[in-house]
């Protein structure tokens, strides 16, 4: 890897740390789509998975390794030889490969997680790096919970693993606890005190539990780190990881800090929408850079200023992140070409057959809604596999209102056979789900149920996320429909379709 003093390498972990979010799991085909998107975005390293964790993760690392050319493909391991063996096997086809191995270094991890000692942890870290180095040249070592690790001991570990062959040393703030000043000082301490630090790249890996992931990452970079571990839209466990788009645009906007990346910023918006759509994870409206309102000026004074000169209130030109500004409004009169153009603008490439299918669904939606926007298209494109589902909702009829007990009747297609049922409930959704349960008699418990509208207006699509517990496991379901009761029943069915013992 070339070493330019001001170049910051972007390491995307959307497919590993990001994908660990409950309900956001992707299948291998979807992961390949994301990986190829990351490649055209200009990401330097793609963390493709944790191969020993499941056959699905193993397979994704194999397939992503085959699918991308320029980025380094990275696989995560614990500091365990078997993990490393499996990762080496999964990376067999990668043109550029990296093993990311490591161990917890904070006193809390050493005592409670490993019931061990600092000396033993140091030994295990060195052993893992030396072992991985036998198979792969590019080895990244992570000191888990480095944010809460004593700096002197952290420096000792970092020095030892670099001596053992680590090319990158990752300093994760695993719990998102550090203050920006503290995290920056930690990186500086390593730069100043580790013998041989010039032989490795220091990496930041920050979590957002206290809302400081981006600030901490920047502080790390300003103090000598040259790799940032990030995810699209900041997805990740709990409050998420550092958002790629924020870090990339900070460096692009601030010429005063003289740091640069290989990111093609015009791919940021399409990539954000692709990941959001595939993971069914809406982007918060006021999210920096890619939120729906990030460039919406609503106050009269701001609107007046922006009309006179954009620079009065905008520090980023929306075109720089791939927002074309004219956001073509699709209606029932739009044709195939307009639909394809808009889909491509948000990162969805389709062949002619798929376009025809989507166009039919688009017309149904456009008849219900006056305008079909980007978020709606993501929902349409995400409905891809519904036709092949084991259980499908044939019809649903609900009567509800003030002063009446809600009643629902529905028809289900279960593997080609038709079933019908009716029930009452304390609300229309309850009535519909009770009807569903008289056909599908399982011990299922609805644990979480959220309804969001996507844009605005009473004709909007409602998105429903559900979590259903069944036989001790939690299943995640999703659907979107202009009818929120239908969306709720479909989301419940989506959960049932995922039961492993159907």
Binding site for ligand KIV (CB under 6 A): 17, 142, 144, 170, 172, 174, 205, 207
Q: Which is nearer to ligand KIV, 61 or 323 (CB)?
A: 61
Stretch that binds Zn ion, among 13-21, 79-87, 131-139, 341-349 (CB under 5 A): 13-21
Mention every residue, 6+ apart, whose C-beta is less than 8 A from residue 372: 329, 330, 331, 334, 362, 365, 366
Picked from Zn ion, ligand KIV, none, the partner binding residue 475 (CB below 5 to 8 A depending on kind) is: none
- Nearest approach, Cβ of residue 31 and ligand KIV (Å): 18
Please, what is the end-to-end C-alpha distance for the chain in angstroms? 49
The CA distance from 462 to 454, in Å, is 6
Nearer to ligand KIV, 61 or 454 (CB): 61
In the bound complex, what is the minimum distance in angstroms from residue 99's beta carbon to ligand KIV? Answer: 12
Q: Is 144 in the site for Zn ion (CB under 5 A)?
A: no
Strands across the sheet containing 462-470 = 444-453, 462-470, 473-481
Residue 19's binding partner out of ligand KIV, Zn ion, none, with CB under 5 to 8 Å set by partner kind = none
Q: Residues 6 or more apart from 480 whose CB is under 8 A from it?
A: 379, 382, 383, 454, 461, 462, 463, 464, 487
Which partner in ligand KIV, Zn ion, none is near 463 (CB below 5 to 8 A by kind)? none
Q: How far is the CB of 222 from ligand KIV (least distance, A)?
A: 21
**Which of residues 207 and 226 has its CB atom nearest to ligand KIV in the complex?**
207
| Longest Cα separation, the chain | 77
Task: Concatenate the DSSP letters of all residues of 238-269 into one string.
Answer: TT-B-BHHHHHHHHHH-GGG--B----GGGHH
Q: Which partner in ligand KIV, Zn ion, none is near 362 (CB below 5 to 8 A by kind)?
A: none
Kindly give the residue spans of alpha helices, DSSP state H, lying in 327-373. 336-345, 352-368
Query: In this structure, what DSSP letter does residue 460 have?
Result: P
Position 17 contacts Zn ion (CB under 5 A): yes
CA–centroid distance for 170 within its chain: 20
Q: Please say which residue, 208 or 223, places its beta carbon nearer to ligand KIV.
A: 208
Nearest by Cα to 499 from 472, 479, 460: 472
Residue 142's binding partner out of ligand KIV, Zn ion, none, with CB under 5 to 8 Å set by partner kind = ligand KIV
Are the CB atoms for 206 and 173 separated by under 8 Å?
A: yes
Nearer to ligand KIV, 171 or 381 (CB): 171
Which does residue 347 bind out of Zn ion, ligand KIV, none, counting CB within 5 to 8 angstroms by kind?
Answer: none
Give the interface size with Zn ion as a residue count (CB under 5 A).
1
Q: Least CB distance from residue 174 to Zn ion, whole Å?
A: 6
Phi, psi of 453 (to 5 degrees): -90, 155
245 binds Zn ion (CB under 5 A): no
Decide which of Zn ion, ligand KIV, none touches 186; Cβ closer than 5 to 8 Å per partner kind. none
Q: Closest CB to ligand KIV among 9 and 142?
A: 142
Q: Which does 144 bind (CB under 5 to 8 A by kind): ligand KIV, Zn ion, none?
A: ligand KIV
Comparison of 44 and 47: residue with beta carbon closer to Zn ion: 47
Contact 339, 320 (CB under 8 A): no
Between 46 and 444, CB nearer to ligand KIV? 46
The stretches of 326-424 forming alpha helices (DSSP H) are 336-345, 352-368, 374-382
Residue 233 binds which entry of ligand KIV, Zn ion, none, CB below 5-8 Å type-dependent:
none
Min dist CB 17 to ligand KIV, Å, is 5
At closest approach, how far in Å is the CB of 172 from Zn ion?
6
User: Of the ranges 10-18, 315-323, 398-406, 427-435, which one interacts with Zn ion (CB under 5 A)?
Assistant: 10-18
Distance CA 393, CA 410 (A): 8
Closer CB to Zn ion, 170 or 481, in the complex: 170
- Minimum CB separation of residue 18 from ligand KIV in Å reads 10
Our CB check for Zn ion shows the closer of 76 and 158 to be 76
Residue nearest to Zn ion (CB): 17
Contact yes or no for 334/278 (Cβ under 8 A): no
129 Cβ contact partners less than 8 Å away, ≥ 6 residues apart:
101, 139, 141, 161, 164, 165, 166
The DSSP letter of residue 207 is B
Q: Count other C-beta atoms under 10 Å from residue 85's C-beta.
A: 16
Summarize as ranges the residues that interact with Zn ion (CB under 5 A). Answer: 17
């Amino acid at each position: 890897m070339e070493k330019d003093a001001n170049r910051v390498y972007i390491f995307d972990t959307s497919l590993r740390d990001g994908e660990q979010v409950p309900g956001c799991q992707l299948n291998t085909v979807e992961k390949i789509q994301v990986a190829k998107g990351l490649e055209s975005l200009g990401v330097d390293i793609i963390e493709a998975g944790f191969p020993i964790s499941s056959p699905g993760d193993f397979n994704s690392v194999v397939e992503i390794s085959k699918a991308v050319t320029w980025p380094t493909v990275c696989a995560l391991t614990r500091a365990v030889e078997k993990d490393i063996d499996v990762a080496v096997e999964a990376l067999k086809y990668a043109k550029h490969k990296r093993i990311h191995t490591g161990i917890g270094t904070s006193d809390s991890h050493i005592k409670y997680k490993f019931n061990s000692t600092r000396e033993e942890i140091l030994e295990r870290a060195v052993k893992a790096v030396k072992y991985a180095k036998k198979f792969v040249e590019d080895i990244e070592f992570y000191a888990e919970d480095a944010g809460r690790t004593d700096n002197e001991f952290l420096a000792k570990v970092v020095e030892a693993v670099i001596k053992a062959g680590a090319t990158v040393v990752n300093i994760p703030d695993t719990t998102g606890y550090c203050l920006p000043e503290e995290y920056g000082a930690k990186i500086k301490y390593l730069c100043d005190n580790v013998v041989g630090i010039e032989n490795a790249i220091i990496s930041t890996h920050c979590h957002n539990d206290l809302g400081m992931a981006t600030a901490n990452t920047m502080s790390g970079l300003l103090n000598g780190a040259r790799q940032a571990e990030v995810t699209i839209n900041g997805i990740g466990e709990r409050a998420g990881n550092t958002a790629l788009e924020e870090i990339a645009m900070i460096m692009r906007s601030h010429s005063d800090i003289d740091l640069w990346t290989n990111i093609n910023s015009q791919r940021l918006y399409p990539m954000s929408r692709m990941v959001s759509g595939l993971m069914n994870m809406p982007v918060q409206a006021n999210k920096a850079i890619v939120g729906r309102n990030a460039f919406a000026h609503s106050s009269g004074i701001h609107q007046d200023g922006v009309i006179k000169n954009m620079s009065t209130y905008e520090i980023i030109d929306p075109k720089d992140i791939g927002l074309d500004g004219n956001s073509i409004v699709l209606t029932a009169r739009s044709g195939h070409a307009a639909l394809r153009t808009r889909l491509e603008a948000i990162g969805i490439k389709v062949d002619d057959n798929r376009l025809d299918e989507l166009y039919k669904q688009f017309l149904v939606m456009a008849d219900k809604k006056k305008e079909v926007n980007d978020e709606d298209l993501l929902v349409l494109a995400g409905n891809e596999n519904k036709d092949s589902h084991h259980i499908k909702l044939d019809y649903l009829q609900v009567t509800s209102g003030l002063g009446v007990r809600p009643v629902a009747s529905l028809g289900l297609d279960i593997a080609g056979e038709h079933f019908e049922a009716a029930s009452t409930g304390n609300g229309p959704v309850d009535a519909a789900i009770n009807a569903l349960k008289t056909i599908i008699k399982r011990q299922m418990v609805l644990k979480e149920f959220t309804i969001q509208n996507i844009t605005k207006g009473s004709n909007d699509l409602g998105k429903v996320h559900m979590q259903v517990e069944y036989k001790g496991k939690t299943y995640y379901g999703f659907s979107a429909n202009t009818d929120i009761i239908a969306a709720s029943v479909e989301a419940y069915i989506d959960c049932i379709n995922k039961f492993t013992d159907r």
